[in-house]
Amino acid sequence: MTRPPVVDLSLCICCGVCTECCPAVFVLNPAGYIEVADLPDYLDPDIEEAVRDCPVDCIAFDECMP
């Protein structure tokens, strides 16, 4: 995907699975929330692993973004 994944923070339980699977993209910020790094593309296959493994299924690719 060239578009960034989006984390639904209202569902995220900060389990750390995505930051472990794909630390280049998913970062725990100092406030304790997951942030998506600003990258030129999001083709890293580890992102799909994070999407799959998120225990509350709160990571998705936003198809509506330009």
Q: Which residues bind ligand SF4 (CB under 6 A)?
A: 7, 12-18, 26, 34, 54-56, 58-59
Q: How near is the Cβ of 40 to ligand SF4 at its closest, in Å?
A: 22
For the bound state, the minimum distance from the C-beta of residue 66 to ligand SF4, rounded and expressed in Å, comes to: 23
Is the Cβ of residue 18 or residue 47 nearer to ligand SF4 in the bound state?
Answer: 18
CA distance 18 to 47: 8
Rounded Cα distance between 49 and 59, Å, is 11
Closer residue to ligand SF4 (CB): 14 or 39: 14
Instruction: Name 35's bridge partners.
Output: 27
